[in-house]
Chains A and B, each alone.
Chain A
Amino acid sequence: MVRSRIFLACFVTAFFLTSAGTAAAYHTRFVADNCNYAGPTPTPYITRDGSTTVALRARYEGYQWAGGCWNDNDRDESPNDPTSDSATGGEGGDCSGFTFKVWRESLTESDAGFLQWGMLRNIHGPYTASRFKAGAGAPNVTVSKSALTNMDALASDSHIGIIYAKNADGTDQIIEAKGEAYGTNIWTRTYRGDSSYGGVRRTGWSS
Chain B
Amino acid sequence: MLVAACDENDDGAPTTLMNGAKAAELPVDLEGVASPAVLTSFAVRRVEEIEGASAVATCLRQHRDDLPYGSIVMRVGVSGESVTFRNRSRRGLYGCDNSQGAREEDRRWCGGAFGQLDGGHLRDPRLDMGECTTRGGGLVGFAWIEPGPGAKYVVVQQQGYAEVYEVGGGLPVRVTTTSDVEIEGSRATFELSEHYADGRAIRRYRVDARVAG
Q: Which residues of A contact B (CB under 8 A)?
A: 37, 65-66, 83-84, 86, 94-97, 107-109, 123-131, 134, 136, 138, 157-159, 195-196
Listed by A's residue number, 23 A-B pairs whose Cβ atoms lie within 8 Å are: A65-B124, A66-B124, A66-B186, A66-B210, A66-B211, A66-B213, A86-B210, A94-B212, A96-B211, A96-B212, A123-B184, A123-B186, A125-B130, A125-B186, A125-B211, A126-B183, A126-B186, A128-B114, A128-B212, A131-B130, A136-B130, A157-B92, A158-B116
Q: Which residues of B contact A (CB under 8 A)?
A: 62-63, 65-66, 92, 94, 103-104, 111-114, 116, 123-124, 126, 128-131, 183-186, 210-213
Q: Which residue of A lies closest to B122 (CB)?
A: A84
Q: Is the CB of A108 within 8 A of B65?
A: no
B104 contact set on A, CB distance < 8 A: 109, 138
A97 contact set on B, CB distance < 8 A: 212
Given contact pairs A109-B131, A157-B94, A158-B116, enumerate 18 new A-B contacts (beta carbons under 8 Å): A66-B186, A84-B213, A96-B211, A96-B212, A96-B213, A107-B183, A108-B130, A123-B184, A123-B186, A124-B186, A124-B210, A124-B211, A126-B186, A128-B114, A128-B128, A157-B92, A158-B213, A159-B213
Q: Which residue of B lies closest to A197 (CB)?
A: B65
Q: Is the CB of A131 within 8 A of B128?
A: yes
A37 CA / B183 CA spacing, docked (Å): 13
B63 contact set on A, CB distance < 8 A: 157
Q: How far does the Cβ of B190 sit from chain A's closest Cβ, in whole Å?
A: 14
> Among B113, B126, B130, B213, which residue has its beta carbon within 8 angstroms of that of A65?
B213
Q: Is the CB of A109 within 8 A of B184?
A: no
B130 contact set on A, CB distance < 8 A: 107-109, 125-127, 131, 136
How many A-B Cβ pairs are below 8 Å? 88
A131 CA / B213 CA spacing, docked (Å): 10
Q: How far does the Cβ of A154 sit from chain B's closest Cβ, in whole Å?
A: 14
Q: Is the CB of B131 within 8 A of A136?
A: yes
Q: How far does the Cβ of B124 sit from chain A's closest Cβ, in whole Å?
A: 6
A109 contact set on B, CB distance < 8 A: 103-104, 130-131
Q: Which residue of A lies closest to B118 (CB)?
A: A84
A95 CA / B185 CA spacing, docked (Å): 16
B114 contact set on A, CB distance < 8 A: 128-130, 157-158
A180 CA / B194 CA spacing, docked (Å): 33
Q: Which residue of A lies closest to B92 (CB)?
A: A157
B124 contact set on A, CB distance < 8 A: 65-66, 84, 86
Given contacts A94-B212, A128-B212, whether A196 and B66 have CB atoms under 8 Å apart is yes
A47 CA / B212 CA spacing, docked (Å): 26
> Among A86, A107, A108, A195, which residue has its beta carbon within 8 angstroms of that of B212?
A86
Q: Is the CB of A65 within 8 A of B103?
A: no
